[in-house]
Every structure is written in structure tokens, then in C-alpha cells.
């Protein structure tokens, strides 16, 4: 019997932020307040990812990245630059999520 192919699940920073909120155990009934909390967690993760990206880039790569940003690139162009210059992005993102999770759950 052939095995069914399993589609890989796409796990986003937003998903991680929502999971952190659940793990925190906060009961937020107000939808707007809940959205604000999730957005805050998501922004914290993204800030840490951005910081890590800049740490991994050489000075020359940072200059190239600045030029790219100044040219009003598409998200795809930014992604291609990052993928072409940083080989361990999944690990960087995972570390950012873990760090933010640890901070939020310890408060």
C-alpha cells in the first residue's frame, strides 16, 4: 500500500507568538487586547531575527543590504538576499522564538 505524502506544515512567527500566548496561560477575552499582545510577541521575535541577521552579515554584505533596502525591494528580493548570505536562517529564527518565549514565560 503506497504511503500518503505528508505536506510539511508551515510554521510562522505569528504561529509562534500565538503559541507563546497560550503557553503563558493568559485568558484575554478582549479580541483587540489579545491581538495587541500577540502582535507585541511577534514584533519581539522579528526584532531578534533582524538583530541576528545583522550580526551574521559582514560589513560588505551590510552595505549591499543597505543598497537593496534603499531600492525598495520586494519581500522576495529581501528573502533571496538573506538566503544567499546566511545559511542558517531556520536556526536563527528558532533561536529568536526560544529567546522571546523564555522571556515572556518568565514574566
Total-model pTM:
0.81
* 87-97 pLDDT, tens digit each: 999 999 999 99
* 1-50 pLDDT, tens digit each: 556 565 556 689 999 999 999 999 988 999 999 999 999 999 999 999 99
DSSP state letters, the chain: -PPPPPPPPP--HHHHHHHHHHHHT-----HHHHHHHHHHHHHHHHHHHHHHHHHHS-HHHHHHHHHHHHT---HHHHHHHHHHH-TTHHHHHHHHHHHHHHHHHH-
Whether pLDDT at 82 is above 80: yes
pLDDT at 66: 95
pLDDT at 107: 86
* 49-68 pLDDT, tens digit each: 999 999 999 999 999 999 99
Amino acid at each position: 500500500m503506497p504511503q500518503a505524502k505528508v505536506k510539511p506544515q508551515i510554521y510562522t512567527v505569528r504561529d509562534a507568538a500565538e503559541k507563546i500566548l497560550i503557553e503563558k496561560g493568559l485568558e484575554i477575552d478582549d479580541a483587540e487586547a489579545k491581538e495587541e499582545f500577540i502582535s507585541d510577541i511577534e514584533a519581539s521575535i522579528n526584532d531578534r531575527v533582524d538583530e541576528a541577521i545583522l550580526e551574521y552579515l559582514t560589513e560588505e554584505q551590510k552595505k549591499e543590504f543597505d543598497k537593496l533596502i534603499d531600492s525598495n525591494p520586494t519581500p522576495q528580493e529581501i528573502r533571496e538576499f538573506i538566503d544567499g548570505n546566511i545559511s542558517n536562517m531556520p536556526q536563527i529564527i528558532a533561536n529568536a522564538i526560544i529567546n522571546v518565549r523564555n522571556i515572556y514565560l518568565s514574566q
